[in-house]
Amino acid sequence: MIENRPINKVLITGITGSGGSYLAEYLLGAHPHVQIHGVTRWHSTTSHENVQQIAHRITLHECDLNDFSAIYQVLKKVEPDAIFHLASHAHVRASFVTPLSVLNNNIMGTANLLEAIRAVGIDPIIQLCSTSEVYGQVDPKDVPIKELCPMNPSSPYAVSKATQDLLGYTYYTSYNMKVIRTRMFAYINPRREDLFATSFAKQIARIEMGLQKELTHGNLDSVRTLIDVRDAMESYWIATTQATVGEVYNIGGAQTIRVGEFLEHLKKKARCTIQSKLDPQLLRPSDVTLQIPDTSKFAMETGWQPKYSYEESVDALLSFWRNKMKSLIAIK
């Protein structure tokens, strides 16, 4: 393990998103000396509620990563010690419907960011947040998945993230930029409604309050290894301060479970009987059904381990959506 790198000022792309907002909250709590700047698109106003409670403690910059001049000006003004690149269109199923939009946003946004860093002439640590989706459908003999497992993306979203990943490595090898890539496996994130866990919890909260009759779901046979989003965001900080520049790391939790088993677990925690049915519209044209990571490389280099248990994550997820449903009803 290398010594912690001194970081006093960070820039988080996609800070108002589900992951970026949790990362900002983590940094404010665990590293209050760090100045937090965030990039947010002017046309993404609905996501600002994710940072509403911490808005007075962070600095937001309106900027679309597809606008090179905009990101150039932000970087020139902020001059961050570290950049956490989380901004992406991340809805896997939607990427089959609008593939060109996802590809253009995720790939060119990343290319613009890397080129702008070069143009400004700064030398920050760049934590490029990739995903296990880049591995695609993995041969069972390659499970648990190591970082050397070939990338075989199965969706337009996964293609865009694999390209981001490769761009990061190319800018490290070609321009000596301090890029660290992380491939995050499935996490429990209450603020991201397109994830199966969050969708299930939201629907259960709605059914408990009489707002919905039955829960709908897609493929229940996929196997995932889950990590709490709060642990995931801490791991990004650890990667940025302790991991080796130029390397790639799998990050994930310890709880491996089939999606259908997760649904049954939530049903047992529900305050009423939950009826569920398959909605064909929720099935992906091509699905990734087996994602179990080997995270030993990251653990050995940094000593990091998740803190939140599976039960704590599930309880927090349900509590979040029960409280949110109550708030929405109260507003009406």
pLDDT of residue 47: 62
CATH number at residue 143: 3.40.50.720
Residues 174 and 240: their CA atoms lie apart, in Å, by 20
Q: Which residues pair with 290 in a beta bridge?
A: 223
For residue 213, what are the CA distances in angstroms to 61, 202, 210, 219, 273?
A: 42, 13, 7, 20, 10
Its domain, for residue 268, covers: 196-223+256-291+308-331
Same domain assignment for residues 89 and 125: yes
Report pLDDT digits (tens) over 156-166.
999 999 999 99
Inside any domain, residue 299 = no
Same domain assignment for residues 174 and 237: yes
Inside any domain, residue 282 = yes
Q: How many domains does the chain have?
A: 2
Q: What 3-state class would DSSP assign to 328?
A: helix
pLDDT of residue 289: 79
Same domain assignment for residues 167 and 276: no
Q: What angle do CA 90, 96, 99 make, to 5 degrees?
A: 75
Same domain assignment for residues 76 and 149: yes
CA proximity to 124, closest of 170, 78, 83, 173: 83
Residues 109 and 113: their CA atoms lie apart, in Å, by 6
Overall pTM > 0.85: yes
Report pLDDT digits (tens) over 22-59.
999 999 999 999 999 999 986 555 568 999 999 999 99
Q: Are 38 and 11 in contact (CB under 8 A)?
A: yes
- HSE-CB at 39 with a 13 A cutoff on CA atoms is 28
Same domain assignment for residues 133 and 212: no
CATH number at residue 320: 3.90.25.10
Inside any domain, residue 112 = yes
pLDDT of residue 2: 56
Q: Which residues pair with 61 in a beta bridge?
A: 39
Same domain assignment for residues 316 and 182: no
Q: Are 232 and 24 in contact (CB under 8 A)?
A: no
Residues 192 and 189: their CA atoms lie apart, in Å, by 6
3-state secondary structure 156-179: HHHHHHHHHHHHHHHHHHHHCCEE
Residues 86 and 255: their CA atoms lie apart, in Å, by 24
Inside any domain, residue 298 = no
Same domain assignment for residues 23 and 171: yes
pLDDT tens string, the chain, 332 residues long: the values are 455 789 999 999 999 999 999 999 999 999 999 999 999 986 555 568 999 999 999 999 999 999 999 999 999 999 999 999 999 999 999 999 999 999 999 999 999 999 999 999 999 999 999 999 999 999 999 999 999 999 999 999 999 999 999 999 999 999 999 999 999 999 999 999 999 999 999 999 999 999 999 999 999 999 999 999 999 999 999 999 999 999 999 999 999 999 999 999 999 999 999 999 999 999 888 777 789 999 999 999 999 999 999 999 999 999 999 999 998 887 75
Same domain assignment for residues 72 and 108: yes
Same domain assignment for residues 219 and 95: no
Alpha-helical (H) ranges within the chain are 18-30, 68-78, 92-95, 99-103, 109-120, 156-175, 196-208, 229-242, 259-269, 296-302, 310-331
Inside any domain, residue 191 = no
Inside any domain, residue 32 = yes
Inside any domain, residue 301 = no
Q: What is the DSSP letter of 244?
A: P
**What amino acid occupies position 272?**
C
pLDDT of residue 329: 81
Same domain assignment for residues 91 and 173: yes
Same domain assignment for residues 158 and 205: no
Same domain assignment for residues 84 and 145: yes
pLDDT of residue 328: 81
Inside any domain, residue 296 = no
